[in-house]
Amino acid sequence: MAASDRDDRESTLAILSRLWGVLSPYKARVIGVALLISFSAALEAAGPQFVRYAFDVVIPGGRSTLFLWFGLAFAGFYLFRAIVEYGGMYWSFALTQQVVSDVRMQAYDHLLTLPVSRFSNEQSGSLSSRVVSDPNALKGMIQAAASRLSGQLVAILVVAGLLVWMNWKLALVNLVVLPLLAFVTYYYQEPLRTASRSIRETVARLTATSTEAISNIRVVKAFVGEEQERERFGTHNQRYVDINLDRRKDVGKMEGLINITSNYGTGALLLVGGWMVVSGSLSLGELTAFIMYQRQLQGPVQSVMFFNDKLQAGMAALERLSELVDTDPETGGDREEVPVGPVELEDVRFSYPDADEPALRDLSLRIEPGETAALVGSSGAGKSTVANLIGRFWDPQEGRVTVDGIDLRSFELQALREHVALVPQDPTLFSGTVADNIRYAEPDAPDEAVRHAAEMANAHGFIQQLVDGYDTQIGERGVRLSGGQKQRVAIARAILTDARILLLDEATSDLDSESEAVIQDALDGLFARGDQLTSIVIAHRLSTIENADTIYVLEDGRLVEQGPHDELLAEGGRYAELWALQRRDADRSARPNPAEPPVVTSAPVDGSSSTRS
Ligand SMILES: Nc1ncnc2c1ncn2[C@@H]1O[C@H](COP(=O)(O)OP(=O)(O)OP(=O)(O)O)[C@@H](O)[C@H]1O
């Protein structure tokens, strides 16, 4: 018990120090807002004094001028108070929005600097919730801490002081009610917090279940999984209703107890105070003011009791944010000049985190500048991993990856990446126009350059036929492009950069042979860009890399063969085997052109066929 109390205290201290970390850049504004809100709260305490004055002085006096002055003072005071309250509310809101927006921006900035490994070990939905919704959850905590708390404390102190000043004996009656109110609020704090947590978790499960079904809707339908999905969603949906009902019961009980306690408190004031009025030791105005103050105190007392709850809720969000912001960003070296030279892997050994087996084992290969190198091999052989290391998306644990003999780790990251262009396996495009997508890496590229790149990528023809040509919006709110069209836009995007190293990951794997021919032309356009472009192509259709300068055959993370197509065929090794497999499957398939090799994605090392055509 004592240990858990200490843990609570330590965690509250940790929360406060983190909260201070978030708020310290805004010190002056926090103090300003707190003063304004405290001032507004102190003004509120003057209200019952007007009533007391009216009952005890103005009404018994019966003079019209006094009524007039009293009316003017009353109206002026409440106008002033409304202005102060508006100012406090607005500045507190503006401050909170500013802090949350800055925190969100910092988190997003940091997110973009994280290494690829950080993105591969957390679902993208969860990562984006860290930068979008978690900062929102800070709002309650910042508002509670930065502004409200000070106002509420001032209200409690000022009102309590006034009560004692007016009549300390009657003030004692209040002192019995207030701790009772505080106790009721405190008693329900934990169950309500637990319920809120469960509600958030259930909402997250509801969202995850529906998102999964929606994004896999074709699989759901193909395997008649609707009923199963309905049941999964229904279970969470029912749980959501149940927890909300339970929570509502607790809230109802708490509100009921608070009402009873404060009404009994008013009753006690009426009885004790009424007796004092009868005995002449208290005026009627004072009693009325006392009752008003008792009502005024309830809000601040409950807010102060709920302060810890707000802190805990905000802390959960702050912890998730800190986990992200405390992750080390990718780091590069100082070299800004990336020379033209061979790209080499020297005795590279690489394992993905938590993987049992290394993905690459003592792999060495050298690609001369201007060459087109092809990586082939079974599924899981390590082809994409080689591309990942050359793009420095990951670093090897042993050995080096170099350009012109210089370790990639010594180059400034941005400088290195400006020299590497990527056409990924699934070339997802960004929302915006076709032209925006082509000039993604070169936002200032003139229209002619964009068009030229599209022509080289064999994309100009279809782009011209779109509704608005290069200005056609694509993505969610625009046209949908076919897989082949997307790839050609992605190739145009790569052509437009002046990258010296091109990584082409399985760009032709999902295309029919007609589209493949079109893409092949696009790639020829790209390879023809100049002798400085070193291309590394991962292609599953061996026909697409027949003309590559060197073909590297990987198996199980090792290089097993290398050389040009004809040489490798003549050698009769693993490449020849893959080639023969493709021919055999092509002959078996009912294709009009059996000479066209099918896609080899997963020919296992044992030689059994697992090709897809
Ligand atoms: N992010 C990752 N985390 C853990 N293991 C991974 C990761 N990516 C790949 N691997 C593993 O590393 C090995 C090499 O994978 P890689 O993607 O390089 O193969 P590949 O030859 O490109 O395969 P494919 O042709 O199927 O794309 C495989 O065993 C794979 O399961």
Distance in angstroms (rounded) separating the CA atoms of residues 527 and 499: 12
Distance in angstroms (rounded) separating the CA atoms of residues 89 and 101: 18
Distance in angstroms (rounded) separating the CA atoms of residues 171 and 291: 11
Distance in angstroms (rounded) separating the CA atoms of residues 469 and 462: 9
Q: Report the pLDDT value the prediction gives residue 122, as an integer from 0 to 100.
A: 65
Q: Whose CA is nearest to atom 28 of ligand 1?
A: 380
Place of tokens 């005026």: 283
- φ, ψ for residue 478 (rounded to 5)? -130, -160
Distance 381 CA to ligand 1 centre (A): 7
Q: Which residues contact 283 (CB under 8 A, 6 or more apart)?
A: 52, 55, 56, 277
Q: Whose CA is nearest to atom 6 of ligand 1?
A: 352
Best CA proximity match to 422, nearest among 552, 520, 535: 535
Distance 384 CA to ligand 1 centre (A): 7
Alpha helices (runs of H) in 326-458, residue ranges in sequence order: 383-390, 413-418, 434-438, 447-456
> What average pLDDT does the segment 122-132 reach?
70
- Ligand 1 pocket test target in 378, 384, 397 with most atoms within 8 Å of CB: 384
Q: Whose CA is nearest to atom 24 of ligand 1?
A: 379
The DSSP bridge pattern shows strands 406-407 and 473-474 to be: unpaired
- Ligand 1 pocket test target in 383, 390, 395, 506 with most atoms within 8 Å of CB: 383
pLDDT at 449 over 90: yes
Distance 602 CA to ligand 1 centre (A): 12
Q: Which atom of ligand 1 is nearest to the CA of 117?
A: 1
- List ligand 1's pocket residues with C-beta within 6 A: 120, 352, 355, 359, 377, 379-385, 601
pLDDT tens digits, one per residue of 477-517: 556 788 888 888 988 898 888 788 989 886 554 555 556 66
- Find out whether 554 and 377 touch, Cβ atoms under 8 Å: yes
Higher-scoring residue by pLDDT: 487, 552: 552
Ordered DSSP codes for 123-192: -HHHHHHHHTHHHHHHHHHHHIIIIIHHHHHHHHHHHHHHHHHH-HHHHHHHHHHHHHHHHHHHHHHHHH
Higher-scoring residue by pLDDT: 511, 320: 320
Q: Whose CA is nearest to atom 17 of ligand 1?
A: 384
pLDDT tens digits, one per residue of 223-260: 889 999 999 999 999 999 999 999 889 888 988 888 88
Q: Which atom of ligand 1 is nearest to the CA of 385?
A: 18
Q: Which atom of ligand 1 is nearest to the CA of 354?
A: 4
- Find out whether 382 and 359 touch, Cβ atoms under 8 Å: yes
Distance 392 CA to ligand 1 centre (A): 16
Distance 557 CA to ligand 1 centre (A): 10
Helix (H) or strand (E) holding 501: strand 501-505
Token duo for residue 495: 């052509």
| Secondary structure, 3-state, 286-311 | HHHHHHHHHHHHHHHHHHHHHHHHHH
Q: What is the DSSP letter of 560?
A: E
pLDDT tens digits, one per residue of 376-429: 998 889 999 999 999 999 999 999 999 999 999 999 988 898 888 888 877 778
Q: Which atom of ligand 1 is nearest to the CA of 554?
A: 21
- Ligand 1 pocket test target in 117, 350, 352 with most atoms within 8 Å of CB: 352
Distance 423 CA to ligand 1 centre (A): 18
pLDDT tens digits, one per residue of 202-223: 887 888 788 788 878 888 888 8
Distance 540 CA to ligand 1 centre (A): 15
Three-class DSSP category at 394: coil
Q: Which residues contact 155 (CB under 8 A, 6 or more apart)?
A: 41, 42, 44, 45, 296, 297, 299, 300
Q: Whose CA is nearest to atom 11 of ligand 1?
A: 359
Higher-scoring residue by pLDDT: 436, 514: 436
Ordered DSSP codes for 46-98: THHHHHHHIIIIIHHH--HHHHHHHHHHHHHHHHHHHHHHHHHHHHHHHHHHH
Best CA proximity match to 287, nearest among 159, 166, 164, 165: 166
Distance in angstroms (rounded) separating the CA atoms of residues 451 and 457: 10
- φ, ψ for residue 548 (rounded to 5)? -60, 150
pLDDT at 434 over 80: yes
Q: Which atom of ligand 1 is nearest to the CA of 377?
A: 21
Q: Letter for the amino acid at 149?
A: L
Q: Whose CA is nearest to atom 4 of ligand 1?
A: 352
Q: Return the minimum-mean-pLDDT range out of 79-83, 302-306, 314-318.
A: 302-306
Distance in angstroms (rounded) separating the CA atoms of residues 41 and 33: 12
Strands lying side by side in the sheet with 501-505:
420-423, 501-505, 534-538, 372-377, 550-555, 558-563
Distance 561 CA to ligand 1 centre (A): 20
Q: Is 14 left (phi over 0), alpha (psi -120 to 50) or beta?
A: alpha
* Side-chain-side CA neighbours of residue 99 (13 Å): 28
Best CA proximity match to 528, nearest among 491, 565, 484, 564: 491
Ordered DSSP codes for 590-607: --S-TTS--B-S---TT-
